[in-house]
Structure 1
Amino acid sequence: MLYFLNLRSLILAAYIGSGLFDLPIQMLPKNFSDLENSATQIQSQNCADCNDFCTIKELKSLAKSITVKVISENGWGSGIILKREGEVYTVVTNQHVLDSDYKSYLIQTPDGFFYQANKIENQDFQGNDLALLEFGSTHSTYTVASLENYTTLSTGDKTFAAGFPALEKPQDTELLFTRGRISILSDRPLEKGYQIGYTNVIKKGMSGGPLLNIYGQVIGINGMHAYPLWGDPYVYRDGSQPNVTLRQKMSHLAFAIPIETLAKLAPKFASISTIEFHQTVSSKIFNYLLFDGFSELLNWKFYSNILSNSSCKSRV
């Protein structure tokens, strides 16, 4: 017990010394018994101003606002609204979602409307499982996703995935929203560009949908669910293969293409250079203490303005 108290004191002292707790006393909760215990549903004091973590409700609402259904003759997948230029919107999805024999598709937006969409041709994705579509809307304005760098991620980070499972009726716009964690961050991509392995449930039809971090930023594009039924997707781009242990681990995970891959190959349509949020070492440690249940161990809840920016408030 003495060891625990000393450990807690040392950690608190370290953060106070670093300036992280340089906050007015009025910002701290008066009654610790009123605090929530769920590490995945920590409430932020002022998420509307993007000063703290998003709540699960806010993340789900954000995911719904930026995710579309991409419909072809043989079925559908999902997509992410990347860009708005006047009345024209750009959507990213997986190449395997689109039928190679068709050039025109339907996009169903979060409000249930259908729009004809055309594939953007002459864009070289260098073998990555990516494709871009454009559609126009004269009567509705849709939310554009905020993007975040692959390099800010660490194994164990919480992830939130969204998309439209293919088992539902075509006219159904119900979004599946799942929670998980990053398990693998490969230092080199698999053949189709997949590098982020995570524990979220991904079903057929959710390919092309967003993988979000706790700030509501898109960090990846869903595209490969766990336990694939055909093919051998676990091959690196140079033709080599992971060892047996790693391959077994990979098979239990869903995989996404980092959004940074798209930004590098198609900077006209996806840019992450304007993202102001950069985690320092101290704030990264703070995230783990807070989101891995450490706040429950300390019986504490912190309200702060540590984060300079997140995308709880989405761009429109």
Structure 2
Amino acid sequence: MGFFNKIKESLSKTRNNLVNKLEGIFKFSTKVDDETLEELEEALITADIGIKATENLISKLKEKVKANRIKDTEELKLVLKEEMINLFPKPSFNLKTPVIILIVGVNGVGKTTTIGKLANKLKSEGKKVIIAAADTFRAAAVEQLAIWGQRAGVEVIKQMEGSDPSSVLFDAIQAGKARRADVIICDTAGRLHTKRNLMEELKKLYRVADKEFPEAEKISYLVLDATTGQNAIAQAKIFKDAVNVNGIILTKLDGTAKGGVALAIASEMEIPVCYIGTGEGIEDIAEFNPREFVDAIFS
């Protein structure tokens, strides 16, 4: 199945939630007026696109309607699609190797699965990958990651449960240097009930990465669960305050009607969405393309 079709299939629930509402507006309103824009605003908010992103979109639409004298709803739909695409910031980095990738996010969002998929994807692109199992506090986290590492065919560096996460990353960096690895992917804990300790732990991981492998690029991806809708934005704010989040990986898009939250995150957090999970298999991860994402919602 091609990339676009896979995205389209995984967004089917989101499409039904959002596009059915929009099509109703475009179908029964032939002219563009204040009432049409108000209905459009309501539809966008109820599709988990969020108030800030919706206000941003409606403001841009009103500008375009006035400047271009748009009177036809079909033309308005095309402008809406373009403005949705423009909401997504572009990544400000290139994935140069060697690189240390920190995967952050709360427990339950799919970090372990995402690491397995990302390791598999990067390996299939010809990169040598090592995984650091630095979530040493969650029961079975290390074992689960070892299984995913085995499936992806990449080495997993681990220690005893309860070990210092920074020590695990230190070992992984030494192994990575010795084996000339291109990528070290580091799992991290996601215990928000001990937020201060967690954030200090993440900062310590950064310090170890900078000290032990200064020449490696450092990137942090925040994993968010699309099914949580607006809660994903609250999580993003917490992590953005603590660490330099370079990009977002959005999981479980195939199981939710709340895929519109990708637009809300992009607008409110100004963090690029870099990858999306499109299913449960090891190959079900795709680099995010804003145009194909929006096209898949509307198709």
The interval holding the TM-score normalised by the smaller chain is: under 0.3
Q: Scaled by the length of structure 1, what TM-score is found? A: 0.24
Higher relative contact order (CA 8 A, sep 6+): 2
Q: Scaled by the length of structure 2, what TM-score is found? A: 0.25
